[in-house]
Amino acid sequence: MIAASYSLQILLIEDNLAEARLLQEYLKQAKSKNFSLVHVQRLRDAFNKLSQSTYDVILLDLTLPDSQGLSSLPLLICQAPSTPIVVLTNTNDEELAIEAVRQGAQDYLVKRQVNVDVLVRAVHYAIERKQLLESLRTVNQTLETRVEERTAELVKAKEINQFKSEFVSMLSHDIRNPLNTILLAAGLLQKNDDKLTKDKKFTHLQMIRSAIKNMAQLLDEVSFIGKAESSKLRCELSPMDLEAFCNQIVEEAQLTALDKDLTLVFTTFGELGERLGDENLLRHILGNLLNNAIKYSLPGGIVRFELIAQENSVIFKFQDWGIGIAQQDQKRLFQPFHRGENVGKLPGTGLGLAIVKKCVEAHGGEIVVNSQIEVGTTFIVTLPLMRI
């Protein structure tokens, strides 16, 4: 309800002065002296008034010198969306007034039928109806927001369940292999200890160590992804010699590259100097990408690793001429446990690139890939590593 002590601010848009004075007189005759009317004759003048102050209701003539028919209505609604509008019409365009109500006006008045009671009732009705509509709109928006939030929660829950399912499936497959190796080698050592040569025993022990190392690496990767998914991954910057760090990564990968008869080429461009970076995150990024380039290269090929220094950022580029990545696989490339269809029997958990992506994001950088089947793959990582 409208409080009697409150002065209702009314904006009248009417080019006929006689009719404007009549409406003003009706408001003065109203028993409740709580109306304050501002009169303008043009739509553009109404916009000026609305930009300067707010009004409780607008009385709009549908025939104005600078606007005809319903063209005024959407402009006013856009200018003052929360202000109720009552259209004023002549007897012969009542259908136009009804259409105006359909398009957003709260009520209409036929000028020849207006009197004090009709005008006051229309003003109060328009205000109350607009308030009700605004309340309903607010409730509707709240419900829509809750539905969207709940939908997002359900989608997230589905993704988590899928992640758990893939995780269990992956563990059952990838841990079973090294466990079988350990059991087989241990069984041979136990049953044939007196028959095995020293070299054979050493070979079986090496198999056990290798299997344990693979299991430990798998568990480390799973633990790292879990940490990243729970938003516990943090970037901790410290001064580092980036070129020396990259050389160390390359040296660690050289043995694997030599086993495949690959030429590993590392080059630097620009002035590096000391940079601020997170060594742990960088090790995951560079190590995974370089090892992937080696793993998926064809024997006898070349793997290039380029370090490009810029003023406040560094670019790492890894290029191979290996098996490549199919377009459909590139869409899911950084999802945990996803592996390309063409990897064949090459070992892997599908976690490496997911870890790389998480580390790049934690470091505030970006990663892009360009790849073609049987042509090769290029990964480019750009990180904001500031020079000290």
pLDDT reading at 370 higher than 80: yes
pTM of the model: 0.51
User: What φ, ψ does residue 314 adopt, rounded to 5°?
Assistant: -135, 140
pLDDT of residue 170: 58
- Residue 386 tokens read as 């500031």
Q: What would the pLDDT profile of 53-106 be if each residue is shown by its tens digit?
A: 899 999 999 888 888 888 888 889 888 888 999 999 886 777 887 888 888 898
User: What φ, ψ does residue 316 adopt, rounded to 5°?
Assistant: -110, 125
User: What amino acid is encoded at 293 in this protein?
Assistant: A
**CA distance linking residue 221 with residue 216, whole number of Å:** 9
**CA distance linking residue 86 with residue 95, whole number of Å:** 15
Confidence of residue 1 (pLDDT cuts 50, 70, 90): very low
Q: Which residue has the higher pLDDT, 69 or 122?
A: 122
**CA distance linking residue 361 with residue 365, whole number of Å:** 6
Strand order in the sheet with 366-372: 263-269, 302-309, 314-320, 376-383, 366-372
The 3-state DSSP class for residue 304 equals strand
292 in Cβ contact with 256 (< 8 Å): no
User: What amino acid is encoded at 317 in this protein?
Assistant: K
Cα angle: 315, vertex 320, 322; to 5 degrees = 150
Distance, C-alpha 386 to centroid of its chain:
27
**CA distance linking residue 105 with residue 101, whole number of Å:** 4
pLDDT of residue 168: 57
Residue 283, burial from CB neighbour count under 10 angstroms (0-12, 13-18, 19+) = middle
Classify strands 376-383 and 314-320 as parallel, antiparallel or unpaired.
Answer: antiparallel
End-to-end Cα, the chain, rounded Å: 67
Q: How far is CA 275 from CA 330, 366, 385, in A?
A: 32, 18, 6
pLDDT reading at 216 higher than 60: yes
**CA distance linking residue 333 with residue 357, whole number of Å:** 10
User: What φ, ψ does residue 367 adopt, rounded to 5°?
Assistant: -135, 135
Q: What would the pLDDT profile of 243-297 be if each residue is shown by its tens digit?
A: 999 999 999 999 889 989 999 999 999 988 889 899 989 999 999 999 999 999 9
pLDDT reading at 3 higher than 60: no
240 in Cβ contact with 274 (< 8 Å): yes
**CA distance linking residue 43 with residue 61, whole number of Å:** 10
Q: Residues 336-343: contacts with CB within 8 Å, 24+ apart?
A: 336/163, 336/166, 336/167, 336/225, 337/166, 337/167, 337/170, 342/373, 343/296
The listed range with the strongest mean pLDDT (33-47, 180-194, 311-325) is 311-325
Average pLDDT score, the chain: 84
pLDDT reading at 147 higher than 70: yes
In what helix (H) or strand (E) does residue 303 lie, and over which residues does it extend? strand 302-309
Averaged pLDDT, 117-128:
88
**CA distance linking residue 126 with residue 10, whole number of Å:** 12
